[in-house]
Amino acid sequence: MINARFALLCFLFLAPAFARARTLEVCASCAYNTIQQALDASRDGDRVLVKAGTYKEPTLRITKKIALTGENYPILEAPKGQEILVIDADGVTVEGLQLQNLAPHYLKDLAAIRVHRKGFFRILNNRLINTFFAIYLEYAHDGEVIGNTITGTAVNELSSGNGVHGWYGEYVCIENNTIKGHRDGIYLEFMHFCSISGNHSEANVRYGLHFMFSNDDHYANNIFRKNGAGVAVMFGKRIGMTDNLFDYNWGRSAYGLLLKEIYDAKIERNRFVQNTIGIHIEGASRVAYRQNTFQRNGWAVKIAGGCLDHDFSQNNFLSNAMDFVLNGRVNSNTFDGNYWSEYTGYDLDRNGLGDVPHRPVKLFSYIVTRTPESIILLRSLFIDLMNFSEKVSPVFTPAGILDQQPLMHPIS
Amino acid sequence: MKNALFLLTWLLLSGCKPTPKPIEYGADVCAFCQMTIVDRQHGAEVVTKKGRVYKFDAIECMVNYVAQQGSESFALFLTNDYMQPGALTDATAATYLISRGVPSPMGAFLSGFGNEPDARTVQTAKGGDLFSWSALQDMRQKKGFLGPAE
- pLDDT tens profile A176-198: 999 999 999 999 999 999 999 99
CB contacts, 8 Å: A251 with chain B: 27
Helix (H) or strand (E) holding A388: helix A381-392
Please state the ipTM of this predicted complex. Answer: 0.78
Domain residue ranges in chain B: 17-143
pLDDT of residue A19: 55
Q: What is the 3-state secondary structure (H, E, C) of B27-92?
A: CCECCCCCCECCCCCCCEEEEECCCCEEEECCHHHHHHHHHHHCHHHEEEEEEEECCEEEEEEEHH
- pLDDT tens profile A15-73: 555 555 799 999 999 999 999 999 999 999 999 999 999 999 999 999 999 999 999 99
Contact call for A232 and B35, based on CB within 8 A: yes
CA distance A61 to A114: 9
For residue A250, the chain B residue with the least C-alpha distance is B27
CB contacts, 8 Å: A232 with chain B: 34-35
Is residue A141 helix, strand or coil? strand
CB contacts, 8 Å: A107 with chain B: 122
Average pLDDT value over all residues in chain A = 90
Tell me which residue of A168, A15, A17, A185 sits closest to B109, measured CA to CA: A168
Nearest CB to B148 within list A213, A252, A253: A213
- pLDDT tens profile A369-403: 788 788 888 888 988 888 888 888 877 777 778 89
pLDDT of residue A365: 84
Please identify, in words, the CATH class of the domain defined by A21-227: mainly beta
